[in-house]
Structure 1
Amino acid sequence: MAAAGPRVVLISGDGGSGRSTVAAAIARRAAGSGQRTLLLAADDPHRTLDRLLGARLGDEPARLPADPHTDPHADPNADLFAARLDPQTAFRDAAERLLTRARTLFDLLGVEALDRDEITALPGAEHLALLDALRTHGTDPGWDTVVVDAPPVPALLAALALPEQLDRYLARLLPEQRQAARALRPVLAAFAGVPMPADWLFEARAWAATELAAIRAVTDAPGTGVRLVVDAAAGPRAAAALRTARAGLALHGRRVESLIVNRLLPDGADPFLATLHKQQQRQLTALRLEWDLPVTELPHLGREPEGPAELAPFLPPEPAVAAAADWPVRDLLGTPEGVLVWRIPLPGADRADLDLVRRGDELALGVGPYRRTVPLPSALRRCTVAGAALRDGVLAVRFAPDPQLWPR
């Protein structure tokens, strides 16, 4: 992975599931195995990681010393660094880059650009901070592993889906094909009698595309994966929400590497705890049967962990990097069905939560609260939707050739 960039591990889960503690434990374990590791606090408003690590995290990565009191076997030379994302700073940095690019437009309108101190973060700045951090540290060859204490799945997906959405909007507003018209702009303007886009607009489009491509190179990289944390005491409702979260991640092409079940009770003599233990074990068995992924069990310590070193020994070796699921098109034109089938893996999806709409050359897909619009493969653009079915976690969309568009 060194040539392709560091391994990026996004730790997500509901609030209160122990996500921050698990993220710190995974980072501590990676550093202890000889990897130069960075731990990023991306969703820690109450500074839980500060208390766990015994250090006040700042904007810049700082080395964390080993604590011999909580971790007597820790390597004092382990390369573990940590930092906290600052949405305000990230928003100002991005706004300054954008305002610099738009200076020509401001001069044209006679508007004075904002100073840095006048810029305040808008809603969604935390998404921008996360993406900026992934671009910065996810391409830094100085790291072997980057562990992110990420927000819950809905907020995490909102951030990870943003580059693709913005890229789609840019392609719709100023397609790449219009770049060819740039050289002919004076001729076309004189011939058509209408103003053509100025050079700065094309340059801004190219700059934005480059920025988005740099972010997507990290989020879509083979070494980037998601691990989900769930509280063992959360009950069946949490399991249902977990299934929807997994389907939403699959919809956006995000790979779930493993499921971490936290705070499992031991089998004790106390009748009350024994009952809860049996309930947790039944739920754990159901998760293992349903999820075709590694499931990690973390015990309940009877108190809050004093540090990540207390959980690190219970973590298994690193799971293998899972390959991104393909969305293949199956050719059944030579069969009695006479259709093309687009197979979209959506593990955990429920048929009642599915939404499917064809809009031109795009397909709008929905799974519960999650939405994504994807371009159709070229062969399917000359077809009409003939039906869809969800079986065994795979959405199969059938396309029948359009006689007016399909070559005879």
Structure 2
Amino acid sequence: VAAATAVACARHGLRTLVISTDAAHSLGDSLDVELGDRPTEIEPNLWAQEVNALHELEENWEKVHRYLSTLFASQGVDEIVAEELASPPGMEEVASLMWIKHHQRSGEYDVLVVDCAPTGETLQLLAFPDVARWYLNRIFPIERRVMKVARPVVQPFVSIPLPGDEVFGSIKDMLLDLEAMKSVLGDPKVCSVRIVLNLEKMVIKEAQRAFTYLSLYDYLTDLVVVNRVLPPEVTDRYFDSWREAQARYSDLVDTAFAPIPILRTRLFDHEVVGLDSLAEMADSIFGPLDPSAIMYHEVPQRVRKSGSDYELLLNLPFVSRAELAVTHREGELYITVGPYKREISLPRVLKGKTVTAAKLEEGMLRVVFGSAKS
């Protein structure tokens, strides 16, 4: 669907780049072309790129990569294996964010389509800027100071190399870049997320969880695309139970994701590979609509004044009260939903205010801030 969207945008005359953040890299297979770790022109107005985390680490964070390689090699790990291990978990997401930032700043493209990995990896990708800010403000300064003092004393007695200050400098630069990405990804005027699902119970449940966590991290979801819907011309009785299930789950999707727009595309009678097939799919999804337009504009989080108090409103669909925890400290609000936790930096207008109430009603969390006497 991401590749089809990119093809449609390009054929609308927009300079379009589609990036794959999935380590499996199926984007090139969909386009039926060989892709590299730099943008490759596919046709007029269309470029594609598959991010290589190891290459990005070597090129942009060489000091970190060299330290990690030395660390693993010092423990007897084979040199080639050490090179691979020097690309730690999460680097695919970090490298993808860096490229998104680079292309957004360059202004070379009108539209950037990011073909995301499955839900878990994508949520890690989108949570990185918040995590980076927390680590940069809370943990990183302590670690750096401790290591600066302890390194000369400890290093002679241990067999592993300890990171030097230049490694911490590289990590700090990387964290600052990640933190800056929040202003891009979290701007509903320029960036939105589109959820793609099939009409199957487990897939819909996963999409609902993804929608919840996207709202938690204040990302705008502007469209849901339902893929592989049985077309009416399929009348074989073999598909009767499948059609009934799809009809049932289609109603569930309409109810669950309203008022977000929902578009559907049929199950094709051929493999959707290559530019012409992708253009056919895009036409099935968007029809006369502009595929690059943001189709829904209500942001998940907002603050409003209510009498002498203030209310922070946050859309948290599909969440039960048992899954939710809210904690307030001066200037910050911590919201935990299941395994995910978000730190929200509160606006100055709420400075000195305390949380006097918190209610979850019909998918909307309402946190009330008043004076300490309230």
Q: Same fold (TM over 0.5)?
A: yes
Q: Count residues with an aligned counterpart.
A: 327
| Shift in Å, 1:88 | 0.4
| Shift in Å, 1:373 | 1.2
- 2:112: which partner in 1? 146
| Shift in Å, 1:118 | 7.2
Change (3 A) 1:122 1:169: closer
Unaligned runs of 5+ in 2: 68-80, 142-164
Distance 1:207 1:39 in 2: 26
- 1:114: which partner in 2? none
Between structures 1 and 2, the one with greater helix share? 2
Q: Say whether the 8 Å CA contact 2:64–2:167 is kept in structure 1.
A: no
- 2:264: which partner in 1? 297
Q: Say whether the 8 Å CA contact 1:330–1:343 is kept in structure 2.
A: no
Distance 1:164 1:387 in 2: 25
Is residue 327 from structure 1 mapped to residue 302 from structure 2 by the alignment?
A: yes
| Shift in Å, 1:158 | 1.5
- 1:392: which partner in 2? 362
Over aligned residue pairs, what C-alpha RMSD do you find? 3.2
Max radius of gyration: which structure? 1
Is residue 56 from structure 1 mapped to residue 56 from structure 2 by the alignment?
A: no
Farther-moved stretch of structure 1 (82-91 vs 204-213): 204-213
Q: Say whether the 8 Å CA contact 2:209–2:318 is kept in structure 1.
A: yes
**How do 1:154-169 residues align onto structure 2 when only pairs under 5 Å count?**
154-169=120-135
Q: Say whether the 8 Å CA contact 2:327–2:335 is kept in structure 1.
A: yes
- 1:133: which partner in 2? 99
Distance 1:204 1:125 in 2: 14
Can you list the C-alpha shifts for 1:136-191, whole angstroms capped at 9, x where unaligned?
1122211011111111233222122222222233333689xxxxxxxxxxxxxxxx
Distance 1:57 1:200 in 2: 34
- 1:231: which partner in 2? 198
Counterpart of 1:274 (choices 240, 255, 264) is 240
Higher RCO by CA contacts (8 Å cutoff, separation 6 or greater): 1
Is residue 42 from structure 1 mapped to residue 42 from structure 2 by the alignment?
A: no
- 1:263: which partner in 2? 228
- 1:245: which partner in 2? 210
Change (3 A) 1:227 1:202: closer
Q: Say whether the 8 Å CA contact 1:52–1:306 is kept in structure 2.
A: yes
TM-score by length of 1: 0.71
Change (3 A) 1:220 1:93: farther
- 1:110: which partner in 2? none
| Shift in Å, 1:340 | 3.9
Can you list the C-alpha shifts for 1:220-274, whole angstroms capped at 9, x where unaligned?
2321111111012x22x33232222111001101111100111111234323313
| Shift in Å, 1:353 | 2.1
Change (3 A) 1:88 1:174: closer
Can you list the C-alpha shifts for 1:94-139, whole angstroms capped at 9, x where unaligned?
4226689x9xxxxxxxxxxxxxx97521111111111111111122
Is residue 123 from structure 1 mapped to residue 89 from structure 2 by the alignment?
A: yes
Q: Say whether the 8 Å CA contact 1:90–1:132 is kept in structure 2.
A: no
| Shift in Å, 1:217 | 3.5
Q: Say whether the 8 Å CA contact 2:333–2:346 is kept in structure 1.
A: yes
Distance 1:125 1:279 in 2: 39
Q: Say whether the 8 Å CA contact 1:134–1:218 is kept in structure 2.
A: no
| Shift in Å, 1:201 | 12
Identity over aligned residues, as a percent? 27
- SS of the residue corresponding to residue 302 of structure 2 reads coil
Is residue 24 from structure 1 mapped to residue 39 from structure 2 by the alignment?
A: no
Distance 2:169 2:273 in 1: 52
Q: Say whether the 8 Å CA contact 1:298–1:311 is kept in structure 2.
A: yes
Letter in 1 for 2:235: A
Distance 2:18 2:170 in 1: 33
TM-score by length of 2: 0.77
